[in-house]
């Protein structure tokens, strides 16, 4: 793991599981801070602003600066900034709209931003999104998952409604959620480093590891969260490294950190 200047670190399953931090997670954050490496905590949530996520982490004893949290809504904002057009209308739920700032107004729309919108999905809201796209707006999908397991049972995620808009308009959505290459690219841009200088640390061998490797990054699998030995054994994906948990991050960083502290070779 030579030449790593920055890390993307999954939150759920890597830094915490359920509502408890993974042992050693807090130490790892401090270690990262001291290492001089760049880092972003990444999450695929599309319902929460990064302020809300930082608050939840703080309640678990994990002190993560808000600006180091990178989610699909933030990726969307970065995407629009690069495109030089940032007037958006969103079909999302929760408080993720707070990450978009005041630039987004319901007129003169450059992009329709669609996430897991739950009850916000109505014929009227879908029709509004449709008309903006027919009027020239692009579609940014915060994710394109098919469904998720809610307390009440399997429930539709954003993907089907993104597919509906694509079918209606003939316009292909830009997907800015993990594991789209766009997500990793935007997160790396946010750190100002290239893919060959970065590693993704995650618990999902497909979304995290294969996704990161496909963009030229290294992929480090942790044995926490949704990790299963069987998935690792049967997968064609070969992680760049496998570690017990985020507590082993210093092992990966050992050389660089040692060098900084004058104890390295």
Contact positions vs a copy of itself (CB under 8 A): 117-124, 126-127, 130-131, 134, 146-147, 153-156, 159-161, 163-170
Taking the least distance from each CB to a copy of itself, the nearer of 91 and 201 is 91
Taking the least distance from each CB to a copy of itself, the nearer of 31 and 130 is 130
Taking the least distance from each CB to a copy of itself, the nearer of 163 and 237 is 163
Taking the least distance from each CB to a copy of itself, the nearer of 3 and 167 is 167
Taking the least distance from each CB to a copy of itself, the nearer of 90 and 161 is 161
Cβ 129 to a copy of itself shortest distance, Å: 9
Taking the least distance from each CB to a copy of itself, the nearer of 66 and 145 is 145
CA-based R_g, the chain, Å: 19
Contacts of residue 254, Cβ cutoff 8 Å, sequence gap at least 6: none
Cβ 59 to a copy of itself shortest distance, Å: 29
Contacts of residue 46, Cβ cutoff 8 Å, sequence gap at least 6: 71, 72, 73, 92, 94, 96, 115, 116, 142, 143, 158, 177
By the 8 A CB rule, do 100 and 203 touch?
no
Give the C-alpha separation, 5 to 36, whole Å. 8
**For the chain, what is the largest distance between any 2 Cα atoms, rounded to a whole number of angstroms?**
65
Distance (Å) of CA 58 to CA 22, 26, 29, 37, 241: 14, 10, 12, 22, 29
Cβ 118 to a copy of itself shortest distance, Å: 6
Taking the least distance from each CB to a copy of itself, the nearer of 118 and 216 is 118
Distance (Å) of CA 52 to CA 64, 73, 126, 182, 259: 12, 13, 27, 24, 36
By the 8 A CB rule, do 9 and 227 touch?
no
Cβ 157 to a copy of itself shortest distance, Å: 8
Cβ 160 to a copy of itself shortest distance, Å: 4
217's tokens: 């990054």
Cβ 169 to a copy of itself shortest distance, Å: 8
Cβ 152 to a copy of itself shortest distance, Å: 9
By the 8 A CB rule, do 190 and 197 touch?
no
């Amino acid at each position: 793991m030579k030449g790593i200047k920055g890390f993307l670190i999954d939150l759920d399953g890597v830094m915490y599981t359920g509502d408890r931090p993974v042992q050693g997670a807090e130490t790892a954050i401090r270690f990262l801070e001291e290492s001089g490496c760049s880092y972003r905590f990444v999450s695929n949530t599309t319902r929460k602003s990064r302020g809300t996520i930082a608050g939840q982490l703080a309640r678990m004893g994990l002190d993560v600066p808000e600006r180091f949290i990178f989610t699909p809504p933030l990726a969307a904002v970065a995407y629009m900034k690069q495109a030089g057009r940032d007037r958006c209308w969103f079909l999302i739920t929760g408080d993720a709209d707070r990450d978009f700032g005041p630039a987004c107004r319901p007129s003169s729309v450059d992009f329709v931003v669609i996430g897991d919108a739950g009850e916000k999905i109505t014929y009227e809201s879908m029709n509004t999104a449709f008309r903006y796209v027919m009027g020239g707006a692009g579609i940014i999908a915060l994710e394109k998952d098919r469904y998720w397991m809610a307390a009440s049972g399997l429930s539709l995620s954003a993907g089907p409604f993104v597919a509906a808009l694509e079918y209606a308009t003939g316009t292909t959505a830009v997907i800015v959620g993990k594991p789209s290459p766009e997500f990793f690219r935007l997160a790396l841009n946010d750190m100002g480093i290239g893919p060959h200088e970065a590693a993704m640390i995650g618990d999902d061998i497909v979304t995290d590891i294969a996704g990161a490797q496909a963009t030229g990054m290294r992929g480090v699998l942790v044995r926490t969260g949704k990790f299963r030995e069987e998935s690792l054994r049967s997968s064609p994906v070969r992680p760049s490294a496998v570690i017990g948990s985020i507590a082993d991050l210093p092992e990966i960083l050992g050389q660089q950190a040692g060098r900084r502290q004058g104890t390295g070779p």
